[in-house]
Structure 1
Amino acid sequence: MTGNFKMMAKTLYGFEHILAKELRNLGAGHVEEGVRNVTFEGDTGFMYKANLCLRTALKVYKPIKTFQVFNEKDLYRHIHDIDWPSIFDVEKTFALDSITTTEVFDNSMFVSLKAKDAIVDKFRAVVRERPNVKTQDPDIRINIHIYKNTCTVSLDSSGNSLHQRGYRILTNIAPINEVLAAGLLLKSGWDGQTDFLDPMCGSGTFLVEAAMIACNIPVNINRESYAFMHWKDYDAELHQKIVDASLKKVREFHHKIIGYDKAPSAVRKTQENVDHANLSDYIDVERKDFFRTEKPVEGKLHMVFNPPYGERLPIEMEEFYARIGDTLKQNYPGTEAWLITSNLEALKHVGLKTSKKIKAFNGKLEARLVKYDIYEGSKKDKNQDGNP
């Protein structure tokens, strides 16, 4: 096992603080928040653990060289100087991802092509063969980031984005990203200490992520591969030790996680995803129209859901959101209700006062995560007023 080295985890806008907290809880050193990223230090085993356990990370990068670049010759020379044959075998496929914010290069594709030439030439010089480039699903992913005159070359240890957990085999029209779902749940304060409901569960992403948080299950336990498995220094035995140690920290959950959806197809997809995640013991899925339901449990209820925005699902927004507010107010006393929406105009028609409003992005759509506190006695008071 090697000593500590610097790494960077990429995340979504607004999740930097949550990711930093996750990293500290896992045992990372020198944690520093950036913009859509968090840098930290750890050893090889920690890199494996970060990929396995981080709920709000999209990628984990391992920087291998930083240098000053003023022209394409500098770029080629410095990348060619890296001992690439010691990092991966010539039989492995690779791909480059370049991000440039510099006057030196106005085209990130040119940077990738120049870097590719340097890597291929290095292999030819050392082993007399060259590895092949593969843009889709390569074995090795290399990230090049140039800001002004500083270039950082990093190995992408994750491969496919870490939101691809491996449990979601079926989706609906507008599925929510798994990292986004986990981050929103953590922002809502979900910790598994109460019952949970997603009344418009779609394909069940909130339900699965909520169960994994509640039980402290490593979030990528269902994932089969990472890019670091193709590195020459991959330690399969160490990786398995990390997996085993993480699974020993799984805890029991003594409440209910419930999902509703009025569409039979959504209920079926959710159930299959829940089964695939091996979480059917913790999650109940029912075909129900939220607007015809009442609170299914006694005591406090934590609710998080992603109602239609009107972007892809044609509905009468004002009436729909007004019914959300009415249903919460009349039928869900003792509930902490959170919803995310990008339809800020429709949000005004909920008719309830928000106790929190947090900016977020669902894909490219600017959205709000809002909280409504529905107090015990609301339903009784409503009926005493003579309203249904």
Structure 2
Amino acid sequence: MNQRRYFATGHKGLEQVLAAELRAPEIGATEVRSGSSGTWFSGGRDAGYRACLWLRSGIRVLEEIARGPASSPEELYEWAMTLDWSAWLTVKQTFSIEARVWDSQITHSKYAALRIKDALCDSFRRRCGSRPDVDTERADLPLFLYIYRDEAILYRDLAGTTLHKRGYRDALHKSSLNEALAAGILLQAAYDGRVAFADPMCGAGTFAIEAALIAARRAPGLLRQRFPFESWPDFDRQLWKDCRGRAYGMARYEVPKAIMANDRHSGALALAAKDAAAAGVGEYIRFSEAEVGAFAPEEPLGLVCVNPPWGKRLSGPDVKTAWRDLGRFLRERCAGANVSVLTGNRDLVGELGLVPAEMRPLRTGKVECWVVRFRNIS
């Protein structure tokens, strides 16, 4: 099978987690190399399909389809006119184009995207008298252009809608945690389902749902109804069927250890339980309603992951009190556990009354955060 070159994007700070996922047998990528906010890898067409199925911390899976000169908008257009666009798109399909430029004579990313769009449309008009339409929401062929200095790299996006949108969440939760970020933090803590897990302030339940998907070996991509590549001219239907079949065959229908999710708000718990059921893991999560100080785990915990309020995310006079209550819970009821606390405000960490083993920076969107880790709480 012909080797292809891919780039998987993810959250800045979780690049090594993403690389480990790509190397794992479920995906089996080769030539894995981490970069800024993402990871390059190689493999056949099946590697791209499996990445869409199995990546938990990834956001996009981009396949490189062309490289060319881009010292000016004119040169970019002329190069794009030489491409055989019919290999990737039919005239009756739709496309979108997003661009990023870096240290380039072409200084505006939207103008770079426009020149690629113009070339694509002009090429189709010359060949068949009409052109594909643009669809910025659900394009059949989502394209991504990256220009660094005088070189352009054109990718096609296998996932389209970002991978963190698993498909199990249909309601907007206030301050809900990004699914890929939650899964990345769990994997960073080496969670594999073999220790009891709890989120004592679960809110929308993202940590617990992603933990259950990991523990049950459920490929998150199986929750998606459709990927753009399923309509591409070179789509291999049998290969995709085989990849999905192997993913279904690896799933567990019970989890080794308990997964617990607690919150003080009944409304948030109801939505979390609904989403867990939609993800097919509702039966594996034990939901409870209590203040964090009153939450009593049913068995000794091996890992706690929690995203408590931290001012920028949620404001109010009770934020410090919530952190102190969380710290008391960790000290009194989590003996021997490892803990990962996500926060965008390092000043609150001292309220826990614990000494961190490490603080790892990461970024979600434009927000700088930290994962504060505590080991073997005593």
Measured against the shorter chain, the TM-score band is over 0.9
Shift in CA distance, 313/70, structure 1 to aligned 2, threshold 3 Å: closer
Q: Distance in 2 between matches of 1:168 and 1:215?
A: 19
Q: Which residue of 2 aligns with 1:239?
A: 240
Matches within 5 A, 1:232-381: 232-251=233-252, 252-297=254-299, 299-315=300-316, 316-373=318-375, 375=377
Deviations along 1:76-116, one digit per CA (max 9) or x if unpaired, are 11111111122111111111101011342121111111111
Separation in structure 1 between the aligned mates of residue 327 and residue 313 of structure 2, nearest angstrom: 22
Give 1:363 deviation, angstroms. Answer: 3.3
Q: How many residues align?
A: 374
In the alignment, residue 323 of structure 1 is paired with which amino acid? Answer: D
TM-score, normalised relative to structure 1? 0.92
CA distance, structure 2, for counterparts of residue 327 and residue 257 of structure 1 = 17
Q: 1:362 to 1:143 in 2, by over 3 A?
A: closer
The 8 Å contact of residues 295 and 333 in structure 1, kept in 2 or not, is answered as no
**Which runs of structure 2 are paired with 1:21-170 in the superposition (5 Å)?**
21-25=20-24, 26-170=27-171
CA 1:373–1:40 in 2, change beyond 3 Å: closer, same or farther?
Answer: closer
Regions of 4+ moved over 4 Å: none
**Larger-gyration structure (1/2):** 1
Q: Which whole-Å CA distance do the structure 1 matches of 2:47 and 2:332 have between them?
A: 48
Deviation at 1:333, TM superposition (A): 2.5
Instruction: Report deviation, 1:237.
Output: 2.2
Q: Gapped runs of 5+ residues in structure 1?
A: 379-388
AA aligned to 1:369 is V
Deviation at 1:312, TM superposition (A): 4.1
Distance of 1:164 and 1:293 partners within structure 2: 30
Secondary structure at the aligned position of 1:269 is classed as helix
Matched residues in 2 for 1:358 and 1:71: separation? 40
Q: What residue ranges of structure 2 are gaps of 5+ in the alignment?
A: none
1:381 corresponding residue in structure 2:
none
Q: Give RMSD over aligned pairs.
A: 1.5
- The answer on 1:204 being equivalent to 2:184 is no
Alpha-carbon distance in 1 for matches of 2:106, 2:322: 49
* Percentage identity across paired residues of the two chains: 29
AA matched with 1:132: D
Write the distance in 2 (CA, Å) between the matches of 1:140 and 1:60.
Answer: 13
Distance 1:300 1:314, change over 3 A: closer
Letter in 2 for 1:24: R
Seen in structure 2, the aligned counterparts of structure 1 residues 102 and 338 have a Cα distance that, compared at 3 Å, is: closer
Q: Following TM superposition, by how much is the alpha carbon of 1:6 offset from its aligned partner in structure 2, in angstroms?
A: 1.0
The amino acid that maps onto 1:271 is A
- 1:295-335: CA deviations, max 9, x gaps? 321x3431111101122423333322222212221233233
Q: Is the 8 A contact 1:217 1:247 kept in 2?
A: yes
SS of equivalent residue, structure 1 residue 138 = coil
Verify the 8 A CA contact 1:32 1:40 in the aligned structure 2: yes
Q: Is the 8 A contact 2:104 2:147 kept in 1?
A: no
How has the CA–CA distance of structure 1 residues 363 and 143 changed in structure 2, closer, same or farther, with 3 Å as cutoff? closer
Deviations 1:205-262 (A, max 9, x none): 1111101111221122111111212211112222111000112122342211111111
Aligned-partner Cα distance in 2 for 1:243–1:31: 23
Distance 2:46 2:244 in 1: 10
Whole-Å separation in 2 of the counterparts to 1:5 and 1:119: 22
CA distance in 1, matches of 2:152, 2:313: 40
CA contact (8 A) 2:3 2:44 kept: yes
**Superimposed CA distance per residue, residues 26-63 of structure 1 (whole angstroms, 9 cap, x where no aligned partner):** 21111111111111111112211111111111111111
Change (3 A) 1:127 1:36: same
Counterpart-to-counterpart distance in 1, 2:105 and 2:239? 42
Deviation digits for residues 123-154 of structure 1, max 9, x if unmatched? 11112211111222222111111100011111
Distance, in Å, in 2 between the alignment partners of 1:359 and 1:71 is 37
In structure 2, give the amino acid aligned to 1:112. Answer: A
CA shift at 1:24, angstroms? Answer: 1.0
Equivalent pair of 1:68/1:149 in contact (CA under 8 Å): yes
Answer whether contact 2:145 2:155 (CA < 8 A) is retained. yes
Aligned counterparts of 2:376 and 2:343: Cα–Cα separation in 1: 19
Secondary structure in structure 1 of the residue aligned to 2:359: strand
Residues 71, 149 of structure 2: 8 Å contact kept: no
Name the residue aligned to 1:16.
15
Contact 1:16/1:37 (8 A) holds in 2 = yes
